[in-house]
Amino acid sequence: MKKYNKKEDKKPNKTAFIKVRCTAEEKERIRSRATNAGRKYSDYCREMLLGGSVTAVPPIGDNEKEALAILRQTALFYAHISNLIKVK
C-alpha cells in the first residue's frame, strides 16, 4: 500500500507578480465582475488574462497617416511662429 504524501497533492505556489495600472473605477469594475462570477479577484484576473479575448484596434489607413503628417507639420509651424514672437 502506498503512503499518502501531502507534497504530491499540493498546487504549485504562485509567486510571480504582474502589476497592471488602472483607475480606481476600473479596479472596482473588475472586482465586481469577479464577485458576480463567484471567483476570487486574482483567480478572475488570471483567467481573463490567460483565456480572455482582446479586441484589436484597426490599423491606421492612408487617410489617417496623411492627416497625422499635416498635423505634425502644422505643429512645427506654430512652434516656429511662437519662437519668433517670444519676448526675451
Read off the pTM. Answer: 0.48
pLDDT of 8 over the 80 cut: no
Output 19 or 7, whichever has higher pLDDT: 19
Greatest CA separation for the chain: 92
Whole-number Å distance between alpha carbons of 32 and 25: 10
Kindly list the domain boundaries of the chain, sorted by start residue. 18-85
pLDDT at 85: 87
pLDDT digits (tens, 9 = 90+) for 23-69: 999 999 999 988 888 888 988 888 888 888 655 568 899 999 999 99
pLDDT of 79 over the 70 cut: yes
Residue whose grid cell is 489617417: 64
pLDDT at 28: 95
